[in-house]
Amino acid sequence: MIQLQSQDKPITISKQALQRMPYYIQHLRTMHKNGIAIIAAPALAAALGLNEVQVRKDLAAISTTKGKPKTGFNVDELIANMEEFLGYNNIDEAILVGVGSLGRALMCYKGIAECGMNIVAAFDINEGLVGSQICGKYVFHMDELIEICKRLNVRIGIITVPADQAQGVCDKMVESGILAIWNFAPSHLRTPENILVQNENMAASLAMLSKHLGEKLTR
Between CA 92 and CA 157 the distance in angstroms is 11
Cα gap 120→102, rounded to integer Å: 16
**Of the residues 28, 31, 59, 178, which one makes contact with DNA according to CB under 7 A:** 59
Q: Which of 12, 30, 51, 71 binds a second copy (CB under 8 A)?
A: 30
Percentages (nearest 5) of helix, strand, coil residues in the chain: 45, 20, 30
Say whether residue 19 binds a second copy (CB under 8 A).
yes
Cα–Cα distance measured from residue 41 to residue 47, given in angstroms and rounded to the nearest whole number: 10
- Do 191 and 174 touch, CB atoms closer than 8 A? yes
Q: Which of 167, 140, 164 is nearest to 154 (CA)?
A: 140
Among 10, 35, 69, 136, binds DNA (CB under 7 A): 69
Q: Is 194 in the site for a second copy (CB under 8 A)?
A: yes
Instruction: Give 139 or 156: the residue with its C-beta nearer to a second copy.
Output: 156
Residue 38: CB atoms within 10 A of its CB come to 15
Phi, psi of 139 (to 5 degrees): -105, 125
Which of 26, 65, 132, 133 touches a second copy by CB under 8 A? 26
**Residue 165 vs 199, nearer CB to DNA:** 199
The phi, psi pair for 200, rounded to 5°, reads -100, 95
* The one among 11, 23, 48, 54 contacting DNA by CB under 7 A: 54
55 or 117: CB nearest DNA:
55
Distances (CA, A) of 108 to 66, 69, 88, 126: 39, 44, 18, 19
Which partner in a second copy, DNA, none is near 71 (CB below 5 to 8 A by kind)?
DNA
> Strands 38-39, 73-74: parallel, antiparallel or unpaired by DSSP?
antiparallel
Binds a second copy by CB under 8 A, chosen from 51, 60, 64, 109: 109
Q: Which of 30, 46, 68, 87 binds DNA (CB under 7 A)?
A: 68
49 makes contact with DNA (CB under 7 A) = no
Binding site for a second copy (CB under 8 A): 2-5, 15, 18-23, 25-27, 30, 47-49, 86-87, 92, 100-102, 104-106, 108-109, 111-112, 115-117, 135, 155-156, 163-164, 179-180, 182, 186-188, 190, 194, 196, 198, 200-219
